[in-house]
Amino acid sequence: MQTLDQWLAHIEAMHPRGVAGIELGLDRVKVVSEHLGQQLALTDSGVPVIMVAGTNGKGSVVAYLSNMLDRAGYKVGTYTSPHLIHFNERVRINGVSAPDEALIAAFVRVEAARKAVAVSLTYFEFTTLAAIQVFLVAGVDALVLEVGLGGRLDAVNIYEPDVSVVTGVALDHQDFLGNTLDAIALEKIGIARPGKPIVVAAPDMPLPALKQLAEIGAKVYLVGEAYGFEPLPGEEGLPSIQWRYWLRQPGTKPEDMQRRGGLAYPGLRGKIQLLNAATAMTAIECLQDRLPVAMGAVRRGLLETELAGRFQVIPGPPDLVLDVAHNPDAAKVLANNLGHLPFAHAQHGIVGMMADKDLGGVLTPLVKGITRWYLTPLDNPRSATVEQLRETLHGLGVKDAQIETYENPRSAYAAARKNATESDRIVAFGSFLTVADVLRDLGRTA
């Protein structure tokens, strides 16, 4: 195996279900990591680890964290999944994707260790181990690791976080995480550690999870209690352009609250981004003794953050909105964000989704705002068919005259562009694969 594509094909072939093969559990990946000496290397080099879990918002929080640390002058390794265009996007150092050569060298090391301990690994487990190898070789100052699925049994959780973050809890991946918010929350907070800070961005975090955090002795920073945010009023009736962040260390008095005012709105769009930005700022505050970050770096990091596929607006005409929203909560946020954009005469919705997602729950918040629908399957065995999407829309009162079907997101986007006027808007959503296909058609990299 000489190329990155050959290695990725080899790793994918290890599991009967390829990239989609999910086997939650830490035993397999932990034994390979120990053979590689990864945790010991991280401990000896004193590299702080920030671990981020959550149903929605974790990509934004990870991006803010990485950018703030970068602007403060640190060498920061960031691990995310899935990727949009190229696998290398998952492994970044100061925002730059790892080169093929670094990834291949890491794959060689992981494969040798895997064979030495005679275990099998899933695609995600293997690539997670390789990402850490890349970061160790590069000698990073800090790590920001995004949990792939859940938290407690996700491969990322074999590493020891200095700060944990849970961005929110909603119904998603119920086959693996449980059918209730209580069950899912307990999986998410599985990344917490005794005596270590955990920043919780869900004000309605289920009580069983909060009790569990108290029992293990985690230092909980709960939004609305330990930290928060508020938009500052605009001048003379103008819209707000600044906001204020506040922090009260757990166990301190209200008068000890710290405030940071006059902050510019973050680079990512949507009202939810104030919550995401405040959450990232709180995680940074928890590490100030080890990784000092001045307010100038915080301001720049938030303002200069960009993230493909998270309410990404590409100016037209017609304007194009790309969003990877694929669960009901994310779809509600997308619908709300669309409602705050300038008026469009019509909105053309390109949607491709996985069949195991809540099709009705995702499409319902957007039915009133989408004028014409362009349904497409995705290049994945788990894809929902256009018939399934059409049937779901019929159940929501959408007429056949409003629906068109296409072979893939690219052809759907071409049709939407042909039909849309300059004052219309195109919205592509439902999956990372939907957004990625449209981005490829535009010739863009993530």
pLDDT in tens, the chain (446 residues): 799 999 999 998 887 565 555 677 789 999 999 999 999 999 989 999 999 999 889 999 999 999 999 999 999 999 999 999 999 999 999 999 999 999 999 999 999 999 999 999 999 999 999 999 999 999 999 999 999 877 888 999 999 999 999 998 765 655 656 668 888 899 899 999 999 999 999 988 898 999 999 999 999 999 999 999 998 886 666 667 799 999 998 878 877 889 998 899 999 988 889 999 999 999 999 999 999 999 999 999 999 999 999 899 999 899 999 999 999 989 999 999 999 899 999 999 999 999 989 999 999 999 999 999 999 999 998 899 999 999 999 999 999 999 999 999 999 999 999 999 999 999 999 999 999 999 999 987 76
Alpha-carbon Rg for the chain in angstroms: 22
Q: How many CB atoms lie within 10 A of CB 394?
A: 12
d(CA 355, CA 392): 11
- Per-residue tokens: 281: 């700022």
Q: How many CB atoms lie within 10 A of CB 296?
A: 10
Q: What angle do CA 86, 83, 62 make, to 5 degrees?
A: 130
Question: Which amino acid appears at position 419 of this protein?
Answer: N
Alpha helices (H) in 46-118, listed in sequence order: 58-71, 100-117
Tell me if domain 4-303 and domain 312-441 are identical in fold.
no
pTM: 0.90
- Per-residue tokens: 175: 């086959």
Q: Residue 390 belongs to what H/E stretch?
A: helix 386-395
Question: Which amino acid appears at position 306 of this protein?
Answer: E
Question: 3.40.50.300, 3.30.460.80, 3.90.550.10, 3.40.1190.10: which CATH number matches 4-303?
Answer: 3.40.1190.10
Boundaries of every domain in the chain: 4-303, 312-441
Handedness of CA 58, 22, 379, 95 (dihedral sign): positive
Handedness of CA 230, 236, 241, 244 (dihedral sign): negative
pLDDT, position 252:
81
The string of DSSP codes covering 190-257 is: GG--TTSEEEE--TT--HHHHHHHHHHT-EEEEBTTTEEEEEEPPGGGPPP-EEEEEE--TTS-GGG-
d(CA 388, CA 275): 35
d(CA 326, CA 329): 9
Least Cα distance to 278 among 199, 219, 340 occurs for 199
DSSP state of 98: P
- Per-residue tokens: 327: 């669960």
Phi and psi of 439, rounded to 5°?
-60, -40
The verdict on domain 312-441 having CATH code 3.40.50.970 is: no
d(CA 123, CA 138): 23
